[in-house]
Amino acid sequence: MQLAERELEREGADAIFSCGPTVMMRAAQKLAEARGIPHWASLENRMGCALGACRACVVPTKLEGPSPYRTVCHDGPVFDASVLLWDELPVP
Residue 18 phi/psi, 5-degree rounding, is -140, 155
Alpha-carbon gap, residue 40 to 92, rounded angstroms: 20
pTM given for the model:
0.86
User: Does pLDDT of 7 surpass 90?
Assistant: no
Q: How confident is the model at residue 92 (pLDDT cuts 50, 70, 90)?
A: low
pLDDT digits (tens, 9 = 90+) for 23-48: 999 999 999 999 999 999 999 888 88
* Closest residue by Cα to residue 41 from 1, 91, 81, 76: 81
Looking at residue 10, its pLDDT comes to 76
